[in-house]
Amino acid sequence: MEIVLYTLISLSSLGIILAVILFFVAQQFKVVEDPRIDEVEALLPGANCGGCGYPGCRGFADACVKADSLDGLFCPAGGNETMNAVAKALGMAAVEKEPQIAVVRCAGAPEQRAKTSIYDGPQSCAIAAALYGGDTDCPYGCLGLGDCVEACTFDAIYIDENTGLPVVSEEKCTACGACVTACPKDIIELRNKGKKSRRIYVSCVNKDKGGPAKKACNVACIGCGKCVKECPFDAITLENFLAYIDYEKCKLCRKCVEVCPTGAIIELNFPPRKPKPEKKEENADNEKAENNAAADTVIENTSEPKNE
């Protein structure tokens, strides 16, 4: 009994001594958090999507509190309204940013891009892309297995059953960029929403020459350069047989859409085009032709021989 008693006393004393040491060490090295971090975090949407570039909303709140200004700091899920509230809480100036949305740069539906093989494996774009180029002759196009859908925490993207391509919901998309990161083919990008949600972009990422690209997909960009020549704002560049429209320079004139021979340039949310009026020269020529025909008829009628 004495041995047991001494053991209990020794262990208890040792525990108390270590607890006291740990208490003083914790007090010495404790980190006092700025209470404003909790305040800023409460203003954020709490999605923890990582679109801001930080590990969750608390990481972003900590960065905002420690920053001298909010330049380069933006919460895509909350938008300008949230950033204005954060700026007001921290006594800083908010940086307005143009609203953005995810855009799928592939229009290779089955009727445009025929399948040449069948994939039988894990339903993951990342795995399929690591194994082969895809089930069509276009090695750049969408695989349609839904990695972008799984990555989206806002339920803002889904796979269309008819086309097999991702579709982005304008009402739900926050431009967090999760789908952009998840896509192994790099066909999804963030672009400015544009006025009245109107956007123009090249819905293709095929970098092959015109012949192979058109053979693989009817709506592929063939690198003809007609759109580059037509654009009056120098908003379109051509590199590696692929055209790209800079949304910062594009004025939404739609001239490039009209000259694209394959329909690779997409225009969204625009009103229907007005029918082009006939040219005056054509009308004048047609009227002249009709008058000549009428005159010929009169001459024929008046030139009949008289009966003797």
Task: Write down the pLDDT at residue 303.
Answer: 44
Count how many Cα atoms sit within 13 Å of the Cα of residue 206 in the half-sphere of its side chain. Answer: 30
Task: Write down the pLDDT at residue 289.
Answer: 56
pLDDT tens readout for residues 125-166: 999 999 999 999 999 999 999 999 999 999 999 999 999 999
Task: Write down the pLDDT at residue 292.
Answer: 55
Element (H, E) at 39: helix 36-43
Q: Is 52 inside any structural domain?
A: yes
Task: Write down the pLDDT at residue 29.
Answer: 76
Q: Are residues 170 and 222 in the same domain?
A: yes
Pairing of strands 166-168, 157-159: antiparallel
Q: What are phi and psi of 7, to 5 degrees?
A: -65, -45
Task: Write down the pLDDT at residue 302.
Answer: 45
Distance of CA 45 to the CA centre of its chain: 21
Task: Write down the pLDDT at residue 298.
Answer: 41
Nearest of 80, 103, 247 to residue 170 by alpha carbon: 103
252 with 195: CB under 8 angstroms? yes
Q: Are residues 162 and 78 in the same domain?
A: no
Task: Write down the pLDDT at residue 6.
Answer: 80
Q: Are residues 186 and 263 in the same domain?
A: yes
Residue with structure tokens 């040219």? 279
Task: Write down the pLDDT at residue 98.
Answer: 93
Q: Are residues 202 and 233 in the same domain?
A: yes
Low-confidence ranges of the chain (pLDDT < 70): 31-32, 277-308
> Whole domain around residue 181: which residue ranges?
100-268
Cα–Cα separations (whole angstroms), residue 176 to 75, 103, 163, 203: 8, 12, 25, 21
Who's near 194: CB < 8 A, 6+ residues apart? 247, 252
Task: Write down the pLDDT at residue 4.
Answer: 80
